[in-house]
C-alpha cells in the first residue's frame, strides 16, 4: 500500500471517528434531555397548599360575620344549617373519609351561588378535581 494512501485512510478514519463521536455526544445529550423531561412528570409538587383548608374556611365563615357567610355561600347561616340537617336526616348525607357534610354542602352552595369553575373550587376548598366533581 502506498504511504500516501495510508495517510489518507488515517485522515478519513479520524474524520469518521470525530463525526461519529460528535453525533454520539449529541444523541446522548438528546437522550438525557428526553429522560429528564419524562422524569419531571413524576416529580409531584403539591398544588393545593393553602394553610386554610376547605373545612377551615367553612369554620371561619360559620364563626364570622353573617353577611360574609351570605356573600360566599348564598344563604343565611340558619338556612345552611337547616338544609344540612334535612340532608343528613332525609337524604342520608354523611361525612366521607376526608370531607365533612358541611364542606360537601358548602362546595355545592358556593358553586351554585358563584358559578365557579371546578378549578376555582379546587383552589378555594383545597381539594382535587375528583373530590370537587363528586
Asked if 58 contacts 72 with a C-beta cutoff of 8 angstroms, the reply is: no
- In this prediction, residue 59 carries a pLDDT of 93
pLDDT band at 8 (very low <50, low <70, confident <90, very high): confident
Average pLDDT over residues 103-132: 90
Tell me the percentage of the chain whose pLDDT exceeds 70.
Answer: 73
Q: Classify the C-alpha dihedral 60-62-67-72 as positive or negative.
A: positive
- In this prediction, residue 131 carries a pLDDT of 87
Report the SS3 class of residue 44: coil
Average pLDDT over residues 6-25: 69
- In this prediction, residue 84 carries a pLDDT of 95
Higher pLDDT, 133 or 77: 77
Average pLDDT taken over every residue of the chain = 83
Higher pLDDT, 57 or 20: 57
- In this prediction, residue 50 carries a pLDDT of 73
Report the SS3 class of residue 127: coil
End-to-end CA distance of the chain: 82
- In this prediction, residue 18 carries a pLDDT of 73
- In this prediction, residue 70 carries a pLDDT of 95
Higher pLDDT, 127 or 36: 127
C-alpha cell belonging to residue 1: 500500500
Q: Give, in order, the Cα–Cα distances in Å from 29 to each of 15, 24, 35, 40.
A: 21, 9, 10, 16
| Rounded Cα distance, 110 and 12, in Å | 75
Tell me the percentage of the chain whose pLDDT exceeds 90.
Answer: 42
Amino acid at each position: 500500500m502506498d504511504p500516501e494512501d495510508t495517510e489518507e485512510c488515517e485522515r478519513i478514519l479520524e474524520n469518521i471517528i470525530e463525526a461519529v463521536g460528535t453525533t454520539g455526544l449529541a444523541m446522548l445529550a438528546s437522550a438525557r434531555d428526553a429522560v429528564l423531561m419524562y422524569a419531571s412528570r413524576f416529580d409531584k409538587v403539591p398544588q393545593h397548599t393553602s394553610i386554610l383548608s376547605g373545612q377551615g374556611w367553612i369554620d371561619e365563615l360559620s364563626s364570622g360575620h353573617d353577611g360574609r357567610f351570605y356573600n360566599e355561600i348564598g344563604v343565611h347561616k340558619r338556612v345552611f344549617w337547616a338544609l344540612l340537617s334535612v340532608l343528613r336526616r332525609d337524604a342520608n348525607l354523611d361525612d366521607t373519609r376526608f370531607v365533612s357534610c358541611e364542606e360537601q354542602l358548602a362546595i355545592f352552595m358556593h358553586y351554585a351561588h358563584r358559578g365557579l369553575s371546578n378549578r376555582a373550587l379546587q383552589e378555594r376548598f383545597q381539594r382535587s378535581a375528583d373530590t370537587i366533581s363528586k
